Chains A and B, each alone.
Chain A
């Protein structure tokens, strides 16, 4: 029996929700850099970023995803601490979702203060069998465009649902 219901399979290639816009605040990006223990001056020091040829500080590339986290009420927490609405809104025959990796392409620098619009589509659903049984490999693709309409980054996010 397939773990992917036909109505979910029909979503492959489709947009997942409306595009979301967020401004990448320098302080949030710096908080992320410090929390990751990454003190690269490109992210933290205006003068160093300018000396390297950028108009202002960059944001750590891994921060992009997190600038789009919406504020949520405590009532949205599940028992395991995950947000009820986290992850793509897809119905599958399995419910445990694991982080499987990311594939990033960076097309232009992302500066602190930029306002980005993220658009996500369901790129692929693949049914596979591993040592622990059948699972679904789920790939989403998100493009990030800046305030000038320039696509600055693209990520294919991989998750395993089993």
Chain B
């Protein structure tokens, strides 16, 4: 893993996007790892009864992906200080979900990020913000 340094970051910088394309098996494993038996994440007939076209990607899994985006930006010696996000739209498996971010502000070693998740149409599903502390060279 490459390290990102505080000196190299400036407002407006874009984070490398993180693209996720969840299989149904991955959603099943995430349900298992979180001890979550909610049928909406594995039973398409049931999901349709609740008015969804397909099973849904777990909100907390999308939150975990935002964490992955931000820790990936911070690098092994960077520290994630805060991360907030709002669940705005539904995410489905077997489609691209893109996690993006941009540097909003830099205050010494502390970098504030605007982060969000988009679906394949570009609609924002999960907007949020984060703060990370980066090491100096």
Q: Which residues of A contact B (CB under 8 A)?
A: 28, 31-32, 34-38, 40-42, 48, 51-53, 60-63, 65-66, 69, 77, 80-83, 98-106, 109, 158
Contact of A80 among B1, B22, B39, B72 (CB under 8 A): B39
Chain B interface residue count, Cβ-Cβ cutoff 8 angstroms: 40
Contact of B82 among A38, A69, A105, A158 (CB under 8 A): A105
In the complex, A49→B40 CA distance in Å? Answer: 36
- Asked whether B35 lies within 8 Å of A66 as measured between CB atoms, the reply is yes
Known contacts A42-B71, A65-B60; is A101 also within 8 Å of B82 by CB? no
- Asked whether B84 lies within 8 Å of A62 as measured between CB atoms, the reply is no
A-B interface contact total, Cβ < 8 Å: 108
Chain A residues closer than 8 Å to B86, beta-carbon distance: 100-101, 158
- Asked whether A104 lies within 8 Å of B39 as measured between CB atoms, the reply is no
Chain A residues closer than 8 Å to B60, beta-carbon distance: 62, 65, 99, 102
In the complex, A106→B70 CA distance in Å? Answer: 13
Query: B81 CB to closest chain A CB, in angstroms?
Result: 6
- Asked whether B64 lies within 8 Å of A38 as measured between CB atoms, the reply is yes
- Asked whether A106 lies within 8 Å of B76 as measured between CB atoms, the reply is no
- Asked whether A36 lies within 8 Å of B61 as measured between CB atoms, the reply is yes
Chain B residues closer than 8 Å to A158, beta-carbon distance: 86
Tell me which residues from 66 to 106 in chain B have a Cβ below 8 Å from any Cβ of chain A: 67-68, 71-72, 76-77, 79-87
Q: Which residues of B contact A (CB under 8 A)?
A: 1, 20, 22, 26, 29-30, 32-35, 37-40, 43, 46, 50, 59-61, 63-65, 67-68, 71-72, 76-77, 79-87, 126, 128
- Asked whether A101 lies within 8 Å of B67 as measured between CB atoms, the reply is no
Query: B94 CB to closest chain A CB, in angstroms?
Result: 14
- Asked whether A38 lies within 8 Å of B85 as measured between CB atoms, the reply is no
Chain B residues closer than 8 Å to A63, beta-carbon distance: 64
Chain A residues closer than 8 Å to B126, beta-carbon distance: 101
In the complex, A99→B85 CA distance in Å? Answer: 11
Which chain B residue lies CB-closest to A83? B37
In the complex, A40→B77 CA distance in Å? Answer: 12
**Sample (7) of A-B pairs whose CB atoms are under 8 Å apart:** A32-B64, A34-B29, A37-B22, A62-B60, A63-B64, A69-B35, A158-B86
